Amino acid sequence: MALDKPAPNDLSAFWMPFTANRQFKANPRMITGAKDMHYHTSDGREVLDAVAGLWCCNAGHNRPKIVEAIQRQAAELDYSPAFQMGHPLAFELATRLADLAPEPLNHVFYTNSGSESVETALKIALAYHRARGEGSRTRLIGREKGYHGVNFGGISVGGITNNRRFFGQLLAGVDHLPATILPENRFSKGQPPHGVHLADELERMVALHGAETIAACIVEPVSGSAGVLLPPVGYLERLRELCTKHGILLIFDEVITGFGRLGASFAAEKFGVVPDLMTTAKGITSGTVPMGAVFAASDIHDAFMHGPEHVIELFHGYTYSAHPLACAAALATLDTYREEGLFERAAEIAPYWEEAIHSLADCRNVIDTRNLGLIGAVELEPIPGEPTKRAFSAFLEAYEKGVYIRTTGDIIAMSPPLIIEKSHIDRIVDVLRDVLNGLD
């Protein structure tokens, strides 16, 4: 039981990621266990997980089939190289993943995180054009407020100011589309109606730089980290159209939207818009073992399969690409998703989730509510001169009341495990209403 595990009394050595270290260590929130929809804390409480960890534990926590697969694999084959060597699970998993993805995304390159998936996709895009004799295509287009992980390529195409401003010049030759934020879309249910024209900004970039200099355009189909920014109706279709017209590769960063989050295997399936490259991570193993995967369309993969057969086609890869534990976890995760019909379940419960999120619209300081699939956001009016403080207070209060939410700026973001029940949704909303109406 959680209480049997004492909290450590020296917290100083661990430099925590994306955390106010001094504030946390003065008043730590220590998680010691988890099961299904809940975390267990060191002070013996159960906390309802409204975020699926960090948008990743889509099957819920400590699911038996996944746990057993990891345990079994650790005892059978702990590690094997993926450079010039192989192990069967890696191939089995790639086939399963390719079957899950829309045509023609038939090839899978393994990584260990979303950040690595993004670097991999950007490098494949650049090398692809070069392999086809279009080496002048070196520019990358991202989007303001986009999140593509924390490595140099990812923060260069990303558009979250604090993730960029401290780290120098970043990659050269990057431009950004505008974020899909329009005041007239406030309180929209599902995809907002206005803003397809924002995709036309890509035409301006083509006019400015010349299509022959642009390699790829990367967007999150629904952006998560910046606070749940949704694609207006028709927007992704328009981006696809323009990329095709100008020979620009379209990359969907599906690190969050992949594996059922929107009630479909991928956002590409949900929206019926297929990119040339698709980056994934998180839900691929339901967060249990670090893993990512980049899906490539057949023509992209095939463009590399020329030249002498003894020569490496792509000079890229990670020590832990196709790690056996990750492959075993991913296969068991895909089994769990399929056997429990979790993507369909997410789609079925999404209308209830939508109503629940929007029922918070009349709470104190709420300036927007938005949702899609099993993602929801509640945006608060910032306290003048103290941005982020109001939402962070809501996070602390909700945690005390037994619900874990996530905040970015003054936006509360939620993305629960796909096993969520209506009673859990009711509890999240009741606690949030209480918290919001009790805050200054």
For binding to ligand PLP (CB under 6 A), which residues are involved?
Answer: 318-320
Rounded to a whole number of angstroms, the minimum distance from the CB of residue 120 to ligand PLP is 11
Task: Give the tokens for residue 350.
Answer: 């999404």
- The string of DSSP codes covering 316-378 is ---TTTT-HHHHHHHHHHHHHHHHTTHHHHHHHHHHHHHHHHHTTTTSTTEEEEEEETTEEEE
| Residue number with CB closer to ligand PLP (320 or 337) | 320
Rounded to a whole number of angstroms, the minimum distance from the CB of residue 212 to ligand PXG is 28
| Residue number with CB closer to ligand PLP (111 or 286) | 111
Which of ligand PXG, ligand PLP, none does residue 319 bind (CB under 5 to 8 Å by kind)? ligand PLP
CA atoms within 13 A on the CB side of 108: 25
Rounded to a whole number of angstroms, the minimum distance from the CB of residue 315 to ligand PLP is 13
Rounded to a whole number of angstroms, the minimum distance from the CB of residue 391 to ligand PXG is 12
Task: Give the tokens for residue 227.
Answer: 């606070």
Which of ligand PLP, ligand PXG, none does residue 406 bind (CB under 5 to 8 Å by kind)? ligand PXG
| Residue number with CB closer to ligand PLP (63 or 323) | 323
| Residue number with CB closer to ligand PLP (24 or 83) | 83
Look-up of token digits 């650790």: 74
| Residue number with CB closer to ligand PXG (265 or 408) | 408
Per-residue burial over 92-115, b = 16 or more CB atoms within 10 Å of its CB, e = otherwise? ebbeebbebbbebbbbbbbbbbbb
Contacts within 8 Å (CB) and 24+ apart, 386-392: 390/365, 390/439, 390/440
Look-up of token digits 């948008």: 55
Which of ligand PLP, ligand PXG, none does residue 253 bind (CB under 5 to 8 Å by kind)? ligand PXG
Which of ligand PXG, ligand PLP, none does residue 220 bind (CB under 5 to 8 Å by kind)? ligand PXG
DSSP 3-state assignment of 25? Answer: helix
Which of ligand PLP, ligand PXG, none does residue 397 bind (CB under 5 to 8 Å by kind)? none
How far apart CA 47 and CA 400 sit, in angstroms, is: 9
Rounded to a whole number of angstroms, the minimum distance from the CB of residue 154 to ligand PXG is 6
Rounded to a whole number of angstroms, the minimum distance from the CB of residue 172 to ligand PLP is 24
CA atoms within 13 A on the CB side of 122: 26
Residue nearest to ligand PLP (CB): 319
| Residue number with CB closer to ligand PXG (369 or 407) | 407
How far apart CA 227 and CA 261 sit, in angstroms, is: 15
Rounded to a whole number of angstroms, the minimum distance from the CB of residue 112 to ligand PLP is 7
CA-based end-to-end distance of the chain: 37
| Residue number with CB closer to ligand PLP (155 or 334) | 155
Residue nearest to ligand PXG (CB): 114
Rounded to a whole number of angstroms, the minimum distance from the CB of residue 25 to ligand PXG is 20
In the complex, the residues that contact ligand PXG under the rule CB under 6 A are 54-55, 113-115, 118, 147-149, 220, 224-225, 253, 255-256, 281, 406, 408
| Residue number with CB closer to ligand PLP (39 or 320) | 320
Rounded to a whole number of angstroms, the minimum distance from the CB of residue 55 to ligand PXG is 6
| Residue number with CB closer to ligand PLP (58 or 115) | 115
Per-residue burial over 237-260, b = 16 or more CB atoms within 10 Å of its CB, e = otherwise? ebbbebbeebebbbbbbbbbbbbb
Task: Give the tokens for residue 275.
Answer: 């990119």
How far apart CA 316 and CA 330 sit, in angstroms, is: 22
Residues 6+ apart with CB under 8 A from 148: 114, 115, 118, 142, 154, 155, 157, 158, 218, 220, 253, 279
Which of ligand PLP, ligand PXG, none does residue 180 bind (CB under 5 to 8 Å by kind)? none
Which of ligand PXG, ligand PLP, none does residue 145 bind (CB under 5 to 8 Å by kind)? none
| Residues 245, 195 contacting (CB under 8 angstroms) | no
